[in-house]
Amino acid sequence: MFLKELARRALMATELGSAWLCYRAHPLHEDGWVRSCKEHRPIDRAGNPVPWITYPAIEFLSRRTRPDMFVFEYGSGASTLWWASRVERVISVEHDPDWARRVSAVAPANTKVLHIPLVPEEPYVTSARTQGIGFDVVVIDGRRRVECVPHAMAALKPGGVIILDNTDRPEYESGLRLLAEAGFRKIEFVGLAPMIAIKSETSVWYRPGNCLGL
């Protein structure tokens, strides 16, 4: 027993020991990051789909989401299935026809995946606004994100919020300015996301009286 403990302490004093500890326990393992890297898909520890956003944002949203919410997504995938298991209705727009078919094939009945190509006439970016209903949450995590921002704002219910991923990227700064100028406040969630080993930022944009209680 003494030799075993001595060997464990020696291992922990090395970089290899630190890597082993991160792999075996605590957030990286419990949140599913290790498994998501192995299988190269955004999943939790049990293999269930999760959004490809930062883990702090996932944790926050999982506690604030309500079953009566309507959600619109720019960009479909594992997040579509995650939202569908938590809210009343999900509509997701996808530019890739093969991917849209794959997501539709496994999506539940409360989900609609729209295939809209990226063409100059703008139907992709306007799709949140043209559904004829208001949304509690609009997620911008697909293509042409800056162009989607004004239409996402127009598609919200009075207490609606916008979730914008990768807001640490400089190319989205003009979209962030639009939201700020429209009176939205921002809360940032920085950390690891499924499958990747670098930190990124997911932000939630909200106004007073919003559906997430911010």
Look at residue 110 in the predicted model and tell me its pLDDT: 98
Q: How far is CA 135 from CA 46, 60, 76, 82, 138, in A?
A: 30, 19, 16, 17, 7
- pLDDT tens for each residue of the chain, 214 residues long: 554 445 445 444 555 545 555 555 566 778 788 888 899 999 999 999 999 999 999 999 999 999 999 999 999 999 999 999 999 999 999 999 999 999 999 999 999 999 999 987 789 999 999 999 999 999 999 999 999 999 999 999 999 999 999 999 999 999 999 999 999 999 999 999 999 989 999 999 999 999 999 9
- What amino acid occupies position 165? D
Q: What is the DSSP letter of 81?
A: H
For residue range 45-91, what is the model confidence (pLDDT) as tens digits? Answer: 999 999 999 999 999 999 999 999 999 999 999 999 999 999 999 99
Look at residue 7 in the predicted model and tell me its pLDDT: 43
User: Domain spanning 45-206: which CATH class is it, in words?
Assistant: alpha beta
Look at residue 22 in the predicted model and tell me its pLDDT: 54
Domain edges within the chain: 45-206
In contact, 32 and 45? CB cutoff 8 Å: yes
Look at residue 134 in the predicted model and tell me its pLDDT: 97
Look at residue 21 in the predicted model and tell me its pLDDT: 53
